[in-house]
Structure 1
Amino acid sequence: MEHKQIQSQSVFYKTVRTNIKNIGQYVGTMPAQLMEDLAKEGLQPEGPQIWRYIGSDGNIETEFDLQVGIPVGEKRDGDDRFTDFIPFKCATFIHKGSWSEFGKVYERIIGEVMVAGHKMNGETREIYHNCDFENEQNNVTEIQIGIE
Structure 2
Amino acid sequence: MNQLRNCYVFLFNSYSDWEPALAMYGIANFTDVRIVTFSFTGEAVVSGGGLNIQPHISLDEAMKADIDLLILPGGEAMENGANVAVIPLIKQLLVQQKTIAAICGATVLLAQHGFLDHIAHTSNHPGVLKLQAPGYKGASQYQQAPAVADKQIITASGTAMTAFAKAIYQHFNLLEIAPLQFWFGFFDHSAVLPEMSAAAPFHFFYQRHETNYAGMISLVRTAIKDVYQEAVNAGMEICGAPEWHYRNFDGKPDTVFTLDIGLPVTTIKPVAAPWHCETLPAFNCVSMQHHGPWEQLADTYGQLFAGIGMLNMQVTGYTREQYLRYNFEQPAQNITNIQIGVS
Same fold (TM over 0.5): yes
Structure 1 runs not aligned, ≥5 long? none
Corresponding residue number in structure 2 for 1:56: 249
Question: Quick one: which amino acid aligns to residue 61 of structure 1?
Answer: D
User: What fraction of aligned residue pairs are identical, expressed as a percent?
Assistant: 26
Shift of 1:107: 2.3
Shift of 1:78: 6.0
Of 71-80 and 15-24, deviating more is 71-80
CA–CA distance in 2 between the matches of 1:69 and 1:8?
15
Higher helix share: 2
Corresponding residue number in structure 2 for 1:130: 325
Structure 2 runs not aligned, ≥5 long? 1-193
> What is the Cα-based RMSD across aligned positions, in Å?
1.5
CA–CA distance in 1 between the matches of 2:280 and 2:287?
17
Shift of 1:20: 2.6
Cα shift readout 1:12-56 (whole Å, capped 9, x = no counterpart):
100001123331111121111100111112223101111110111
1:93 aligns to 2:288 (yes or no): yes
For the residue of structure 2 that corresponds to 1:60, the secondary structure is coil
CA–CA distance in 2 between the matches of 1:119 and 1:51?
21
Corresponding residue number in structure 1 for 2:265: 72
CA–CA distance in 2 between the matches of 1:140 and 1:50?
12
1:116 aligns to 2:311 (yes or no): yes
**What's the TM-score once normalised by structure 2's chain length?**
0.41
**What's the TM-score once normalised by structure 1's chain length?**
0.92
Higher strand share: 1
For the residue of structure 2 that corresponds to 1:81, the secondary structure is strand
CA–CA distance in 2 between the matches of 1:90 and 1:68?
19
| Residues paired across the two proteins, number | 148
For the residue of structure 2 that corresponds to 1:34, the secondary structure is helix
1:102 aligns to 2:279 (yes or no): no
For the residue of structure 2 that corresponds to 1:113, the secondary structure is helix
1:30–1:130: structure 2 CA closer, same or farther, 3 Å change rule?
same
Structure 1 runs of 4+ off > 4 angstroms?
A: none
